[in-house]
Structure 1
Amino acid sequence: MARAFLGMGLLGTNFVKALLEKGEQVQVWSRNPEKALLLEASGAGVFASAAEAVKGADHIHLTLKDDASVDEVLVSAAAGLKSGAVIIDHTTTSAEGAIQRTKEWKERGFRYLHAPVFMGPANARESSGYMLVSGDQEVIGRVTPLLEKMTGRLINLGLEEGKAAAMKLIGNCFLITFTAGLSDTLSLGKALNVSAQDIGALLDIWNPAQTLPNRLLRLSSGDYSKPSWELNMARKDTQLFISSVEQGSGALAVIPAIAAEMDRWIAKGFGTSDWTVIAKDAAL
């Protein structure tokens, strides 16, 4: 049973290498032919067009950039698609795009399944990390054995089309804001002559990740009347961060925007509320 992979970036390349090592037959295509040709020595079938690459393949995997590239490549591949083929898209896209493609390709006689991943290239090569799916459970049931070979954990989010895409975006949003927050933390550390190693040691002892579930519940509760940290006091500390970094001629990525949001809620009369009130509009 042949698989086709369209898109030979770091993720696609390592998925293919892992499957070839497991003895699978894989047909590949890339808009950058040199990347695809590098896999020929490992046993991949390399093709000059997407339509040629998908011929005879029961499952077509996409590892591309965005909605536009997925739509463009699928149009190019359409002429070569085998009747009844399942299109499995690992690209991070909009939820709307995933829903629309599921509908459109079903109308054309094919099954489209969005299966985004929380993986880096090393995870793809090691078949570790997480893969998300949602939607038609019959389709998911058919491809589950194939997908489980590619990931450490396959997470089925249920019947809702587009749910996997939405959850992938939410996860990436958290990773980006988390990383930007760490960048600001390092900037403050630099301004205060505290090394990254010392910051790491603090986080080993006092692990704020343990508070995330309760913090999420508090943010989404809608009740900010019993403060454990008043917004006015949190804003005071936020100004200390900003002033310290400015004095050290450094720069902050996200703290100034947070300060502005705090000021907006203080101006609305929430200064003595719990500081998580800044999430009120998002939570309600």
Structure 2
Amino acid sequence: MKAFLGTGLLGANFTKALLKKGEQVQVWNRTALKAKALEAEGAIVYEQIADAVKGAAIVHVALKDDASVDEVLTAAVAGLQPGAMIIDHTTTSAEGAVRRTKAWKERGYTYLHAPVFMGPQNALEGTGFMMVSGDQEVIRKAEPILSPMTGKLINFGPEEGKAAGMKLIGNLFLVTFTAGLADTLALAKALHVSIDDVSALFESWNPAMALQARLKKIGGGNYDQPSWELDMARKDTGLFLQTAEQAGVKLAVIPAIAEEMDRWIEMGFGKKDWTVIGKGSTR
């Protein structure tokens, strides 16, 4: 018997996938109607959290944040069977994941944080990426449970909370990537270039292919042989801003990048490779 606490878009489809594989799943959700909708799929729905986890050796959690995970698990204690494994797919702070791992172990339970790069369709199909880190014996026991739920289970080693950190890093990239695309399309609008033309450009020229090389460039710390000088990159950035302003189009992230470029130029790095603006971010 398994339990799933939190049946939003991700949790609901995880539950459906488990049910299709013949698993018995007990569910609870703060908004009861979302859980109730899973009855037709074969889920056993409970109004009380403690009732939903009774008899479940594995308790999956997919909630909003640290506070909601703590609140829900505290309410679940009364129904948890001795030695139950709690697997938390919520995006949380790394500190929260470390704290909960320790606290639940002290109470006689296993808590494993397993955040995901998976959308609802991935959860239903068992595709995408799931991450874990921490006690390798715990992960070894959890692997047969988690691997069928995802396309790839990534083990980041024995450091507690590292999977949570990697999830935040990935999400930050997605946020900045999307914000960058929004600015790209805003500049295209200012230049009267259609989204279809922008799409055609990226079909021929794929800057994502340079991601690994760019990471190595920033992390390597050698900016003395520029492929694009910071002064020149700042000149082009000024053109972005000028074009957008003249067209009455707002750019969200480029103004902040321009300020950061100016800071590095003022420190004397104008003739260095423009990736020097990432120098302070590396260890």
Fold match, TM over 0.5? yes
- The match for 1:260 is 259
Q: Which residue of 1 aligns with 2:182?
A: 183
| 1:80-119 pair list within 5 angstroms | 80-119=79-118
TM-superposed deviation, 1:283: 1.6
Query: C-alpha distance in 2, partners of 1:220/1:172?
Result: 20
> Match of 1:84, SS?
coil
1:223-242 correspondence to structure 2 within 5 Å: 223-242=222-241
Conserved? CA contact 1:221–1:283, under 8 Å? no
Offset, 1:26: 0.3
1:73 partner letter: V
Partner of 2:207: 208
Match of 1:59 in 2: 58
Conserved 8 A contact 1:61-1:90? yes
Report deviation, 1:118.
Answer: 0.1
How far apart are 1:153 and its partner, in Å? 0.8
1:38 & 1:10 partners in 2: Cα distance? 12
Matched residue pairs, number? 283
Q: SS at 1:224's partner residue?
A: coil
1:50 is matched by which residue type in structure 2?
I
Q: Do structure 1's residue 149 and structure 2's residue 164 form an aligned pair?
A: no
How big is the shift at 1:225? 1.3
Deviation of 1:244 after TM superposition, in Å, equals: 0.8
SS of the aligned residue for 1:99 comes to helix
Matched to 1:242, the amino acid is L
Rounded to whole Å, the distance in 2 between the matches of 1:92 and 1:155 is 16
Q: 1:74: which partner in 2?
A: 73
How far off its partner does 1:157 sit? 1.1
The DSSP-based 3-state class of the residue aligned with 1:149 is helix
SS of structure 2 residue aligned to 1:105: helix
Aligned-residue RMSD, C-alpha: 0.7
Q: Alpha-carbon deviation of 1:178?
A: 0.5
Deviates further, 222-231 or 60-69: 222-231
Residue equivalent to 1:279: 278
% identical equivalent positions: 66
User: What displacement does 1:80 show?
Assistant: 0.5
User: Matched residues in 2 for 1:162 and 1:283: separation?
Assistant: 20
Q: For residue 4 of structure 1, what is the aligned residue in structure 2?
A: 3
- Aligned AA for 2:153? L
C-alpha separation between the residues in 2 aligned to 1:283 and 1:55? 47
Of stretches 101-110 and 137-146 in structure 1, the one that deviates more from structure 2 is 137-146
Equivalent residue number for residue 197 of structure 2: 198
SS in 1 for 2:217: helix
Residue matched to 2:138: 139
Return the offset for 1:17. Answer: 0.9
Question: How much has 1:245 moved relative to structure 2?
Answer: 1.1
Write the distance in 2 (CA, Å) between the matches of 1:186 and 1:36. 39
CA distance in 2, matches of 1:283, 1:115: 26
CA deviations on 1:49-68 (whole Å, 9 max, x unpaired) are: 11100000000000000000
- Map 1:45-56 to 2 at 5 A: 45-56=44-55
> Structure 2, unaligned stretches of length 5 or more?
none
Q: Give the whole-Å Cα distance in 1 for the aligned partners of 2:27 and 2:128.
A: 23
Partner of 1:163: 162
Q: Matches of 1:214 and 1:148 in 2, distance apart?
A: 31
- 1:34 is aligned to 33
Q: State the distance in 1 between where 2:71 and 2:134 align.
A: 23
Code of the aligned partner of 1:170? I
Q: Distance in 2 between matches of 1:165 and 1:73?
A: 19
Which residue identity is paired with 2:32?
Answer: P
Q: Is the 8 A contact 1:231 1:271 kept in 2?
A: yes
Mapped to 2, the partners of 1:43 and 1:113 lie a distance apart of: 26
Give structure 1 regions of 4+ aligned residues with deviation exceeding 6 angstroms. Answer: none
- C-alpha deviation, 1:45, in angstroms: 0.5
Tell me the CA shift for residue 71 of structure 1: 0.4
Output the CA distance in 2 between the equivalents of 1:193 and 1:223: 38
Displacement of 1:156 after TM fit?
Answer: 1.0
Q: Secondary structure, in 3 states, of the residue corresponding to 1:242? A: helix
Tell me the CA shift for residue 19 of structure 1: 1.0
Q: Does structure 2 conserve the Cα–Cα contact (< 8 Å) formed by 1:238 and 1:259? A: yes
Contact 1:118/1:129 (CA < 8 Å) preserved in 2?
yes
Counterpart secondary structure, 2:211:
helix
